[in-house]
């Protein structure tokens, strides 16, 4: 088994006891006294893990940790930061991205705990089969850096980190629930805030999603939603969803928030939203990170918009392929599929299903006398009328040239006959006159009714029974209901 190597970054005198403990545990080790020496070592070696002390000569521990963890698209190298009493609060508490933050104040037990946890991290890394080291590391002289130099590094690290987040988001655009899960996970790991949100203002189905990371009151979420909608100029049909720990009673208020519109061609196409319970708002590093992410998120927004447009087009095409062009009703193919699903559902629920087949009497003679335009008018107006006479749960489909089918869930044969009789009596009262004409046909219909046989789940059976009943109605002179 290959010997595991650990890179210890920190004051060499302070690292000696830790180096001895790792040696006793079977590790090989290298000690580096500065951050840039550590980066140089990483460029030529492949350690199993790195432990970063709090007091480095040139960079702060969180800066080195972030450099390493954001050094590639999918960094796997386990990084441990040894906490100090003067740790860094605010943005960098989360964003340094260390795999483990631990204090060694408790002596040998805490060192043993560190080694045990680090072994687990290395095991997970090796199982993943991915490269442990980042793609590259910037190597610069290890002179003592001035405060301005450190601030510049902070800015560069933040920009690099936000770029990494944007790249990861681009990889998962759809389905939307997976994108949101990734979005909230990434931003919650980086930003210390109670609420994270995103809005996409597409022309079709604009939406806004807000997630509460801690208990937040529903009133606060509603206020944040209203403020964001107003600021963005969101349409009235904006779909809003609240995720996470939203409390109807109790929960934190949102003391301050940041709403960052994403703009393309001078138009708001979406927004990033952050809320905090702290009335003082976010620290400057957090705000800088939000601005960087806002600039880099535009390609993600464009992909989300494109994805939604494709989905709308797909739904329209699916609807067109399942409907009859002249009446707007579902076609025979859709009818058979729906009927199959309904029969299976009704069989499990022991519920009845009724079916009607409605046929226009003598439609050919009507076409011969009044023209095919009248024939088309008869069918379209009949379809619209039957839609007003049936329940929302019923389905009406174009069954054939002059025939319609009506599927009636939770209706027995007697119920089907009642509806059939209403349709039969209504049709002769309808007006079928084209503009400019004085006279139109008077139509009658014949209707066959059937009920679901629980012993036969084949949709062709109930269709056949209704068809036979229709033939009996027509053969006895038409304008009748038969079952």
pLDDT score for 146? 47
Identify the band that residue 320 occupies on the pLDDT scale cut at 50, 70 and 90. low
Asked whether residue 24 is assigned to any structural domain, the reply reads yes
CA distance 153 to 156: 5
CA distance 160 to 157: 5
- Where is pLDDT greater, at 142 or 94? 94
Strand partners, 400: none
CA distance 330 to 334: 6
Which residues have a Cβ under 8 Å from the Cβ of 184 and sit 6 or more positions away? Answer: 196, 211, 243
Is the domain of 299 the same as that of 383? no
CA distance 458 to 339: 9
List the CATH number of the domain containing 200. Answer: 3.30.450
Nearest Cα residue to 75 out of 98, 101, 102: 98
* pTM for the whole structure: 0.50
Is the domain of 257 the same as that of 364? no
Percent of the chain at pLDDT > 90 equals 27
Following CA atoms 382, 385, 389, 393 in sequence, which dihedral angle do they give, to the nearest 10 degrees? 80
Which residues have a Cβ under 8 Å from the Cβ of 134 and sit 6 or more positions away? Answer: 42, 68, 69, 71, 72, 75, 77
Identify the band that residue 74 occupies on the pLDDT scale cut at 50, 70 and 90. very low
pLDDT score for 145? 45
Is the domain of 73 the same as that of 189? no
Does residue 268 sit in helix, strand or coil?
strand
Would you report the helix, strand and coil content of the chain in percent, each value rounded to 5?
45, 20, 35
Is the domain of 187 the same as that of 130? no
pLDDT score for 260? 94
In 178-289, the DSSP E strands lie at 195-200, 207-217, 239-247, 256-264, 267-276
Q: Of 281, 313, 345, which residue constitutes the final position of a domain?
A: 313
Is the domain of 309 the same as that of 389? no
Percent of the chain at pLDDT > 70 equals 86
**CA angle centred on 247, ends 243 and 253, rounded to 5°:** 95
User: Residues 237-283: pLDDT tens digits?
Assistant: 899 999 999 999 888 899 999 999 999 888 888 999 999 998 999 98
Asked whether residue 146 is assigned to any structural domain, the reply reads no
Is the domain of 11 the same as that of 65? yes
Number of domains making up the chain: 3
Identify the band that residue 229 occupies on the pLDDT scale cut at 50, 70 and 90. very high
Following CA atoms 434, 436, 440, 445 in sequence, which dihedral angle do they give, to the nearest 10 degrees? 10
Nearest Cα residue to 479 out of 431, 420, 433: 420
């Amino acid at each position: 088994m290959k010997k595991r190597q650990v890179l210890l970054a920190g004051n060499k005198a302070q690292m000696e006891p830790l180096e001895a403990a790792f040696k006793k545990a079977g590790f090989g080790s290298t000690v580096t006294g500065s951050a840039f020496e550590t980066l140089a070592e990483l460029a030529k070696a492949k350690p199993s893990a790195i432990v970063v002390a709090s007091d480095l000569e040139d960079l702060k521990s969180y800066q080195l940790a972030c450099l390493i963890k954001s050094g590639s698209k999918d960094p796997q190298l386990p990084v441990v930061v040894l906490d100090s009493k003067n740790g860094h609060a605010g943005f960098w508490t989360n964003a340094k991205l260390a795999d483990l933050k631990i204090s060694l104040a408790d002596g040998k037990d805490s060192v043993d705990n560190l080694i045990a946890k680090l072994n687990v991290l290395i095991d997970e890394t090796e199982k993943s089969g991915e490269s442990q080291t980042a793609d590259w590391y910037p190597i610069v002289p290890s002179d003592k850096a001035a405060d301005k130099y450190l601030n510049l590094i902070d800015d560069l690290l933040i920009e690099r980190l936000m770029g990494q987040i944007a790249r990861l988001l681009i990889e998962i655009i759809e389905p939307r629930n997976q994108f949101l899960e990734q979005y909230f996970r990434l931003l919650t790991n980086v930003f210390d805030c109670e609420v994270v949100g995103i809005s996409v203002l597409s022309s079709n189905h604009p939406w806004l999603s807000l997630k509460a990371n801690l208990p937040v009151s529903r009133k606060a979420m509603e206020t944040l939603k209203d403020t964001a909608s107003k600021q963005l100029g969101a349409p009235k049909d904006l779909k809003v969803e609240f995720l996470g720990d939203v409390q109807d009673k109790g929960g934190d208020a949102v003391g301050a928030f940041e709403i960052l519109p994403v703009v393309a061609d001078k138009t708001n196409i979406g927004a990033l939203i952050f809320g905090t319970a702290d009335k003082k708002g976010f620290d400057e590093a957090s705000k800088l990170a939000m601005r960087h992410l806002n600039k880099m998120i535009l390609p993600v927004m464009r992909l989300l918009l494109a994805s939604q447009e494709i989905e709308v087009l797909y739904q329209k095409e699916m609807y067109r392929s399942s409907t009859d062009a002249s009446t707007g009703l579902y076609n025979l193919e859709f009818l058979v599929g729906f009927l199959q699903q309904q029969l299976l559902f009704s069989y499990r629920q022991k519920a009845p299903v009724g079916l009607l087949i409605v046929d226009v009497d003598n439609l050919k003679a009507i076409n011969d006398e009044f023209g095919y335009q009248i024939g088309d008018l008869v069918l379209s107006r009949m379809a619209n009328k039957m839609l007003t006479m049936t329940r929302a749960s019923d389905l009406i489909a174009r069954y054939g040239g002059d025939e319609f089918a009506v599927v009636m869930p939770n209706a027995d044969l007697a119920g089907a006959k009642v509806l059939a009789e209403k349709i039969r009596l209504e049709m002769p009262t309808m007006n079928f006159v084209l503009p400019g004409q004085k006279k139109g046909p008077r139509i009658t219909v014949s209707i066959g009714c059937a009920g679901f046989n629980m012993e036969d789940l084949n949709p062709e059976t109930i269709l056949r029974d209704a068809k036979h009943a229709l033939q009996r109605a027509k053969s006895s002179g038409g304008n009748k209901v038969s079952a």
